[in-house]
Each structure stands twice: as C-alpha cells, then as structure tokens.
Chain A
Amino acid sequence: MLGLLMGVCFGFLLQRSGVTHYKVIMGQLTLTDWTVLKVMLSAVVTGMIGIHLLRIPGLVRLHKKSGSVGSTVIGGLIFGIGFGLLGYCPGTMAGALGQGSLDALLGGVLGMLAGTGIYAALYEPLEKRILHVGDFGKLTLPELINTGTWPVVLSMTGIIILFLLILELSGV
C-alpha cells in the first residue's frame, strides 16, 4: 500500500535527520539543540507552499481538524508533559523503535496504547463536558485575520525562513 511506502520514507527521513534520538528531542525541549524545530519548520514551509499551489488546479483538498480550548489546549498540554517525560512523540517513537531504542517500545508504545485505550474509555463524558468548550471549529489563520490565503502563506514562509536563519546564525 502507498501508506506503507510513504511511512518508510517518513521514518527514514526522521531517523536520518537525528530526530528519533532521545538526546536530540530532549535537546530541543531543553532549548539547547534546535534540530527538531529545523526539521519541522522546513517541512512546514515546503509542505505549505506545495499544498497551496496544488490547491489551485484542485489537485488536493484540505483535511482540517477542528479545535476548541477544551480539546486542543488541554490535550496539547497533557501531550506536552508526556512528550517531556518520554522524550519521543508518537511518530519519532516508531522511528526510534526501528533504530533499536527499546525504551520507545517498552515505555513509549505500551504507554501510548494504554493511554489511547484510557482515552477511548473516558471519551463519552469528556465529549459531553469538556471537549467542545471554547470551540473554534476548523478555523484557518487566513479566516482568523480576514485575509486571503497567499498573503498568509507568503508571510509565514518569510517568518519561518527568518527564524531558521537566526537559528543557524546563533549556531544552535
């Protein structure tokens, strides 16, 4: 399947850039090694330009996720704490497994399976009471500031490239 092939490339790129290594991820989270952000932001800039270009002839459609304060912010913070404790994210965890880091398997994967299972068990009450608090739906940045898509794409590109330049120049 195509998904498998793309996954192999994804995993290969993540491992090769170093971001499946515990010390690299923790280096990012302790703000001493900015490799993770360099990889992610490069992916975002490339992806953003390409996807929005491909939208013009209608070759792709967007898959936006909706959000709310109750789901995105709270979930995000919980994720962040787990991120800091484990030192891998769900994607890099899988890549780390491939490179032989067993803590990604015994701690990480097992924990993730347990965690997602717990979430599924708690889903109904959460959905009723918390998940939709402060809902902002599938809002996009252009919609938020009431502009067209391309001004945002181009400014974002500029901001990100500037940021990466600053990172490079400071030698982190």
Chain B
Amino acid sequence: MVSVSFAFIYFLFSDVVYWVLASDASGTIRESVWKMRRWSPYAAGAGIGVLSWLAFLLSDNTLGASGSYAKTAGMIEKLFRGRKAEEKAYYQEHPPEVGWGWMLLVGLIIGGFLSAWLSNDFHVRLVPELWKQQVGTNGLLRWVTAFAGGILLGIGSRWADGCTSGHGISGTLQLVVSSWIAVLCFFAGGVVTALILF
C-alpha cells in the first residue's frame, strides 16, 4: 500500500512538474528546459519540497542556511583565537565544523551559478538594477546598506534559530508553531522595511 501511494505520488508529481514546466507564457517555440531563464515558481517550489523529502529521508536533516554562516564565522574565529573561540557557550552548543549543512550552503552557491550560467543569467554586478533605478548607482551606499542588512540577518537568524529556509520551509512543513511565527515576523519586518525604503 505504501509503495503504491509512493508510485502514485511520484507519477502525479512528475506529470504536474512536466505540465507546469511545459506551459510557456508566450506559447511559441519552447527552448530547452535547461536553458529557460525562468521556471514556474510552482514547479520550482514543488522541486524544493521534494528536495526536503530527500533531506529528511536520506540525510535525516533539514534544508536550512543560517546555521552554516554561524559555523563559518566560528571557524574564522577559531583561526584567529584558537581554543578561546570554542569556549564560547554558543560554539559549545553549535560546534563550528564542516558538516552536511555547511556543504549544503556551498552547494547553494554552485547551484545558483550553474543555473545562471546555463540560462545566460550570470552577470557580475556590484549594484542590483532595481537599486540603481530607485536609489542610485553609488556602490558605497548599496554596500553599507547591504552590510547593515547582512549583520541584522546574521543576528536575527541565530536569535530566532532559523531563516526563511530553515523556519520558512522546513519548519512550516513540519507544522511547528515556532516556524510559523518566525515566518510571520520575517515578513512583517521585511515588508515594513521595504515599504519605508521604496
């Protein structure tokens, strides 16, 4: 019974994915799927959902990103301060070591590159277009804002024990209250900030 439901779900899923990927907005010539610049958000999202099944099933782990940045920061601190860094309570509870999650983060960068490169969407840019249009081309201002934002993301994600992947996807699908509350707060804070900025 279990294998029948798995087979059913797999076929249902692959049909849905194919149908969604294949439906092209312009309805004209369809390029190779691998070169298409934008995939349907529903298909990509479903793909991420399947990825989380595999993460749970094969690696007994969850998709998440923020923790790995903390580990990297810890590893850097270890380089400079050696033993003293590891004695911090936070690093006692979250050892700054390379592991599954850290490799996931490295993979994220590679995957982003692969997708961009294959679809001709790779552009080395210092300032995003939208920012250039709405705020200005001054790279320094963008850098300062981005850096400040990054710091708050770093503090906030560890404070809340997760980010939009860890809480926003992995936690919510497990129906955990902390994750649903976290996502609400992420977006509340984000929307207010964005509306003030733009």
Contact = CB atoms under 8 A, between A and B. Distances in A.
Nearest to B159: A75
B82 interface: no
A22 B131 contact: yes
B54 interface: yes
A15 B56 contact: no
9 contacts: A10-B63, A22-B131, A29-B187, A46-B46, A47-B169, A87-B149, A115-B150, A118-B151, A144-B177
B59 interface: yes
B9 interface: yes
B184 to A, nearest CB: 7
A12 B103 contact: no
A14 B128 contact: no
Given A90-B163, A149-B175, A156-B175, A51 B70 contact: no
Given A29-B193, A44-B49, A11 B2 contact: no
Interface residues of B, number: 132
Contacts of A26: 130, 194, 198
A8 B114 CA distance: 8
Interface in B63-106: 63, 65-66, 69-70, 72-74, 76-77, 88-91, 99-106
Interface of A: 1-23, 26, 29-31, 35, 38-51, 53-54, 56-57, 59-68, 71-87, 89-104, 106-121, 123-124, 126-127, 131, 136, 138-142, 144, 149, 152-153, 156, 164
Contacts of A98: 108-116
Contacts of B63: 6, 10
B130 A22 contact: yes
A104 B19 CA distance: 33
Interface string B31-48: 000001011111111111
B174 interface: yes
Contact of A42 (B49, B164, B194): B49
A113 B154 contact: yes
Nearest to A78: B156
Given A78-B159, A85-B146, 16 more contacts: A7-B106, A11-B109, A48-B49, A53-B6, A62-B174, A63-B170, A63-B174, A65-B178, A74-B160, A76-B156, A80-B185, A90-B66, A93-B150, A99-B123, A111-B148, A120-B91
B29 interface: no
A109 B150 contact: yes
B160 A8 contact: no
Contacts of B180: 141
Interface string B173-191: 1111111111111111111
Given A6-B51, A117-B77, A60 B188 contact: no
Contacts of A78: 152, 155-156, 159-160, 189
Nearest to A107: B146
A11 B123 contact: no
Contacts of B110: 4, 7-8, 11, 98
Nearest to A55: B56
